[in-house]
Every structure is written in C-alpha cells, then in structure tokens.
Structure 1
C-alpha cells in the first residue's frame, strides 16, 4: 500500500459518481506496504460522512482481480470480518481509474495491534480458521502467485546481489522446499483460499476485539497450514531476533485448532511450513530491495528480518500444533 499512481480529489470527484457513496470530501494517500496505490477516501451522503479505502492496482490485472474482490464479498457474507467491496451502478466491483483497475472497499474500525499479546493472537487464530472454513465453497480458483513457482522464478533475480553465505542459504532452502512440496505428507494437507499475508498491519483491533482482516491482494489457493505459518511468523515472534514467543504461538494455534482442528499431516508438516513462510517473505523482500519500483512514500522492508526468521526456524523447532 504505497502510492505509485498519484490521484487527486479532483480526479475522484467525477469518477465516484458511479458509486452510491455520495460526494468525495477528502482523499489521503496511505504510505504502508509496497504493492498498490491506496488512499483513505471520505465521502458525504445525506449529511453523514463515511470512510472507505480506494485501491489502484499496479500489478494485478482486470482479469485477475475478480478472484480477490469476490473472495472478500464471499467471506463477508459468511460472517468473516473483512472489508466489503462496493459495486458501482452497473454492479461492477472493478472500475478503471487513470487507466488502471481500481476498487473501493469499506474501511474497518480500530487500528493495527503492533505489540500483540496472547489475547490478540488467539483472536487472529480463531478468525483465520473461520475464514478458511468459510472459503471452502468459494467457486473461483487461483494459485498462490507467490508460491513455489514464483520462488524459482525470483531466486535467480536476486542471487547476483547477495553475498555467498546468503546465496547458499537461499538455494538450499528452495531445494528443501522442492522436496517438501513433492512429499506424500504435503499432498495430504488441506487446501483452499488463503490470505497469505496476514501480518500485524493487515488486521484491525478495537482494544482486544478483532474488527477485521484486510489487504487480500496476495490471496490464492494454497495449503491452509501455509497461511497459519505466515501468520505465526509475524504475530508470535520477537521482532529483533525472530525467536518465537511460546505463549503467543500456543494462543494462536490453540484458538485455530478449536475452530478447525489440525490434521495429523499438518502436525508433521508444521516445521517445514514455518520455513516456507519465512522463505517466501525473505525472497520477496530481497526482490523489492534490489529491484525496487518507483513510488511515492515507498520504503522497501529490510530483507534481513526474514533471513533471521528463516535461520531461526531451521535451527530451533517451534512449539507443536497440538
């Protein structure tokens, strides 16, 4: 959520008339994240002000976007706390703005919890399990676009920029994940739509009450366990070292397990999957750091953070799922 495509309030004023949202009053760019151009949009209708999020998609196409926006609608209709996409007067969720696909979704209440305690992790675990179950009957299919195939495509792009010890780790881990993905245990894992990027800044809380998950634009169909691993690797760690906090891990996975019990295959795959989650984000941060795109308010994330997490997951077994 950076700003690659500048948009003014004047640009939006006429464009928004096709939506049942009233008059555009204010537009403010959102600086966090690195994939799309995002803005807080304030509107006025019948004397009342409302807030939304306007997103201009920089990488995803008109053809790809129905998977994400209809998934959000599908989950919202089944009681999962996610932003609801707003359709225009033709029933369209995706409309061109400055020649690029754009969408408006409702803005969640609260704020991100950047210093989570076990109570917050438990709420995230329970809602993540509810989200996975709610997505089982979602009709559209799309693979995780940052999965194993992308790791193979991207690794050669970053290897020339990193020192030998990091290159050795990266190549060895991709090889390990190749073997893991081909094994019988991996083939037994539960699969369905996943968020794939459920970091602390993609969840909103009002005190201890979870008000919603957002930013579904890395979602795809993959193993549910990968989603849990990505989430644990952010919510349940010491940010300086990557070491897991056992109390937070237990809170998150126990709450998930109470809603959607983990399987025996998932128990066996847990340690490799935590490594897979760390690899995915180390690799994407290496790519964003060494192959940056120009954007207003864009600061690439430190790749070293997920390198430390990956090394820690290799060296130290995590608490078991159950």
Structure 2
C-alpha cells in the first residue's frame, strides 16, 4: 500500500491528474482505523467515459505521456506481477481447460512474445491498467486517473498499448482510426518514442491483448471464492489479439 500512496502523491505533485493522498501533521499518508490501514485522498469529480471520443482520447494520451516523463524519476520500484513471467505461468494453468483452437493460439502467441523481447526499450513506472473505468472526465476534461494497484516498473510503450486496446477499440475489437490518432499523437507530443519503440509497437500491442485475455481466462476458469466483481468476457481480448496479429496500425498513426 505505501508504494501506491507514494506514487499517487508523487504524480499529483508533478502535475499528473490523479487523487492526491492527504497527509497528517507529521507528513504521513498511511493511518490506522479500527486496526486496519487507511488513507484519505482527494475526491475526484466526473464520470468514466465508457464511450470515449477523440478529444477524450487526446487527453488521456497526453496525460499518459506526461506521467511516463515524470515517473521515470520516481525513486521506488515494483516489478510487474502480471508481466511475461506471469503470462507463461497463467498459460500453463489455463491450457488444459481450453479448446484445441484456443490452446494453439495461446501457445503460438506465447512463443512469439518470448521470441521478440526487447530489453532496450525505455522503462519506468507505468499504470498498467488504464482502462476507461480508471479515468474520470467532466465533459472532455480529464479530472483524474485512478486505480494504480497494478502500477509497476515496466516498458512505457506497453502501457500505451494497454490503453489503446481499450480506449480506441470498437465493440468488435477493431481500432477506431480517429481515436487512435488522437491518443497516439498526444502521447508522442509529450514523450517522443525511440526507433526501437516504433519497431516493437506491434509486439507490444499483441502482448497487451494477451495479458488481458489470460487474466480473464484465469478469472473465468478459476473463480476466487467470495469474489464480488463481475467476471469479464475473455473472448473480448481474444478477438483483439486475433485482430492485432492480423494487422497493427503503426505507432505514428
């Protein structure tokens, strides 16, 4: 918990729209309430943009770029618990439960991903779960980014791929060109990608789709006892993965 609280405070202090934790007179954020950890944070206004337009995608792309510029200086580190090592472990768990066609797809994509790792890509603290329900808007104005509980140290452009696959996809998984151009253009203005990132973009888009296909498969096949959250459809991200394997628009779209 301290990592996430400190990260939100750091980002808010660097102008990134997110809830700022409220410190006590001694400068501490984390408190104890009825023998449990507790923290007060600023309340954001607005709603989740479940049908985002191009201007909202521009705003989220710009803020993501600004966040990556700032977060490379965050002094703490946390590994990605849902990174490639987890993809392999999760794949082994779900494979016996899949139909032959899906199992073949999963094996092929895992082999592709582990055959195309790019260790030289720029890294730092990323959000790793910046879906539409993790941002608040008033009209076209971004009031804040929330839910940093998957935040970790990983490839910046992977964070962009996760965001694009949710914010810029139609219901069938195909990318909307206007929203894609708005988000990527705003991001590039804040943090211009390297040549290596341009080359790795299609791999990262596929990897981002694979990660959420796998996590949803795990939630569906191995539901956690007492879990109250709604299990999301794994096929949504299987469709996205299949489409990105077929074609991935370039990073300068």
TM-score band, normalised by the shorter chain?
over 0.9
Higher strand share: 1
Higher helix share: 2
- Kept in 1, the 8 Å contact 2:80–2:153? The answer is yes
**May I ask how many residue pairs the two structures share in their alignment?**
253
Cα 1:296–1:267 change in 2 (3 A) is: closer
Give the aligned CA root-mean-square deviation in angstroms.
Answer: 1.7
Determine the structure 2 residue equivalent to 1:124: 60
Q: How far, CA to CA, are the matches of 1:218 and 1:69 in structure 2?
A: 13
Structure of greater Rg: 1
Check if 1:203 corresponds to 2:139: no
- Kept in 2, the 8 Å contact 1:76–1:84? The answer is yes
Q: How far, CA to CA, are the matches of 1:237 and 1:312 in structure 2?
A: 11
Determine the structure 2 residue equivalent to 1:158: 94
Q: Which runs of 5 or more structure 2 residues have no equivalent in the other structure?
A: none
Determine the structure 1 residue equivalent to 2:18: 82
Q: How far, CA to CA, are the matches of 2:119 and 2:130 in structure 1?
A: 24
- Kept in 2, the 8 Å contact 1:250–1:319? The answer is no
| Matches for 1:214-233 after TM superposition, within 5 Å | 214-233=146-165
Say which of 132, 141, 156 aligns to 2:77. 141
Q: How far, CA to CA, are the matches of 1:131 and 1:278 in structure 2?
A: 22
Check if 1:285 corresponds to 2:221: no
Q: How far, CA to CA, are the matches of 1:295 and 1:102 in structure 2?
A: 22
Q: How far, CA to CA, are the matches of 2:40 and 2:106 in structure 1?
A: 38
Say which of 234, 237, 245 aligns to 2:176. 245
Q: Which runs of 5 or more structure 1 residues have no equivalent in the other structure?
A: 1-64
Determine the structure 2 residue equivalent to 1:73: 9
Q: Provide, for residues 1-26 of structure 1, a one-character-per-residue CA deviation record: whole Å limited to 9, x for no partner.
A: xxxxxxxxxxxxxxxxxxxxxxxxxx
TM-score norm. by structure 1 comes to 0.75
